[in-house]
Amino acid sequence: MAGRVLLRGMLAGILAAFLAFGFARVVGEPQVDRAIAIEAAHDAAAGEPPEEELVSRRVQSTLGLLTAAVMYGAAYGGVFALAFAVAHGRVGRVSPRMLALLLAGAGFVAVVLVPDLKYPANPPAVGHAETIGMRTAAYFEMVVFSLCAMILSVLAGRSLLARMDVWSAWLCGGALFIVLVTVLQLTLPDISEVPADFPAALLWRFREGALGMQVVLWGALGLVFGALVNRMPELRGRA
């Protein structure tokens, strides 16, 4: 059964990735093109030669973006399926479809939303090359810590079920998560490298597009995976 659940997770992740790719092409890529144009204009004004493209922008925004999205979706779909298999039957008597939606929401909050509030996505022309390593490490630290905070909060909420009603137990677990991520947000360093002359509207729209792509990916993953596993009678019987 674990193999069947894993296969459905990867399939759901790939289907979700195609939807996310379509969203990124329509909403996100135009903002990237504008940001690249600004970066090229700054380089030209400074007398710097244009950087040589190892891969053309056309390939990056089509085949390259689709390949990355599919690989990302398949990987997250597989991990999502494993998390579902662990959680099923251990977090209350909920249907497989509802559990998938709850896991997708929790995954989006822990993996995307909380790290994005601290370190939002930046378009080209924002950020210094010499700080890439530091920015990447800080972001992934935020992701790991946020996931750990989510797991601890779920375990705390589950342990409280023996002492209080369901609503109060999970409310306490949610409050613990908020406290933990707030401490993390205050502990990790702030990074602000947006040039003063960078258009605020473009920065906002780029970040909207980046976050929207993740909303589409996680939302579709939860919906598609939930529909697939809800048809498995052995899972419905254990709910």
Per-residue pLDDT, 140: 92
Residue 160 lies in a domain: no
pLDDT at 185 over 70: yes
pLDDT at 161 over 80: yes
Which pLDDT band, with edges at 50, 70 and 90, does 135 fall under? confident
Per-residue pLDDT, 167: 86
User: CB-based burial of residue 147 (10 Å sphere; 0-12 exposed, 13-18 middle, 19+ buried)?
Assistant: middle
Closest listed residue to residue 191, CA positions, set 110, 115, 98: 115
Which pLDDT band, with edges at 50, 70 and 90, does 10 fall under? very high
Which pLDDT band, with edges at 50, 70 and 90, does 49 fall under? low
Q: Are 96 and 232 in contact (CB under 8 A)?
A: yes
Residue 157 lies in a domain: no
Percent of the chain with pLDDT over 70: 90
Residue 140 lies in a domain: no
Q: Cα(184)–Cα(180) distance, rounded to whole angstroms?
A: 6
pLDDT at 52 over 80: no
Residue 146 lies in a domain: no
Q: Are 221 and 92 in contact (CB under 8 A)?
A: no
What mean pLDDT is predicted for residues 145-152? 94
pLDDT: is 130 or 9 the higher one? 9
At residue 170, what is the residue type?
W
Q: Are 190 and 143 in contact (CB under 8 A)?
A: no
Which pLDDT band, with edges at 50, 70 and 90, does 108 fall under? very high
Looking at the structure of the chain, the number of domains it has is 1
pLDDT at 162 over 90: no
What mean pLDDT is predicted for residues 216-226? 95
pLDDT at 174 over 90: yes
Residue 174 lies in a domain: no
Q: Are 206 and 121 in contact (CB under 8 A)?
A: yes
Q: What is the pTM of this model?
A: 0.86
pLDDT at 13 over 80: yes
pLDDT at 234 over 80: no
Residue 215 lies in a domain: yes
Which pLDDT band, with edges at 50, 70 and 90, does 164 fall under? confident
Residues 6+ apart with CB under 8 A from 184: 114, 118, 142, 145, 146, 149
C-alpha Rg value of the chain to the nearest Å: 20
Q: Cα(113)–Cα(191) distance, rounded to whole angstroms?
A: 17
Which domain range does residue 104 map to?
A: 1-109+208-235
Residue 231 lies in a domain: yes
Residue 127 lies in a domain: no
Structure tokens at 162: 């023996």
